[in-house]
């Protein structure tokens, strides 16, 4: 499972002119599910996201998590995180999970995040979405449940 995580002042996702989800502050998470992923990857990712210390403390150090600051999470599915563009000009997506499995693990991850009691909003799985946000810092972190980077 892979994620691109951005610390945001605000974020929203729109589908066909309708707001699907929004948060006032917290983390914007683009989440991709790989072919080999299992429920343990969903648990790892949710725990990592909730504990990732990228918010400023009183001393101005990135030492607080989204849980510590009471922020929200906007989780947007994105299979293109498994795009392999090492050869040619068109990325291959063969390492991305099939839609049924991807949806199940995406929803499982969102469920684990919701157990935290924080505001968790989502996009719409397999929809064309418009995402708007204000990145604070900017701070952008890459996560991979297989720890390949």
pLDDT, tens digit, 9 for 90 and up, residues 27-41: 999 999 999 999 999
Q: Does 78 qualify as catalytic in the annotation?
A: yes
Q: Does 80 qualify as catalytic in the annotation?
A: yes
Rg (CA), the chain: 15
Q: Which residues pair with 34 in a beta bridge?
A: 96
Tokens representing 98? Answer: 């099939």
Given a contact cutoff of 8 angstroms between Cβ atoms, the answer to whether 75 and 109 are in contact is yes
The residue annotated as part of the active site, out of 6, 14, 55, 78, is 78
What are the tens digits of pLDDT across the range 33-77?
Answer: 999 999 999 999 999 999 999 999 999 999 999 999 999 999 999
Domains, the chain, ranges and CATH? 2-142 (3.50.80.10)
**Closest among 52, 4, 23, 50 to 149, alpha carbons compared:** 4
Distances (CA, A) of 50 to 15, 46, 60, 127, 149: 26, 6, 20, 26, 19
The pLDDT score that the predictor gives to residue 148 is 85
The residue annotated as part of the active site, out of 6, 79, 112, 121, is 79
| Position 92 pLDDT exceeds 90 | yes
């Amino acid at each position: 499972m892979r994620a691109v995580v951005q610390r945001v002042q605000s974020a929203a996702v729109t589908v066909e002119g309708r707001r699907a989800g929004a948060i006032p502050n917290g983390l914007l998470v683009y989440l991709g599910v790989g072919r080999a992923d299992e429920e343990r990857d969903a648990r790892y990712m949710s725990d990592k996201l909730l504990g990732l210390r990228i918010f400023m403390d009183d001393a101005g150090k990135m030492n607080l998590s989204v849980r510590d600051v009471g922020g929200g999470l906007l989780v947007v599915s994105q299979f293109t995180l498994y795009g392999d563009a090492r050869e040619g000009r068109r990325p291959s997506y063969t390492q991305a999970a099939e839609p049924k499995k991807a949806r199940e693990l995406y929803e499982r991850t969102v469920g684990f995040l919701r157990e935290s009691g924080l505001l968790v909003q989502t996009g719409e799985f397999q929809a064309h979405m418009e995402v708007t946000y204000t990145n604070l810092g900017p701070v952008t972190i890459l996560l991979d449940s297989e720890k390949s980077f």
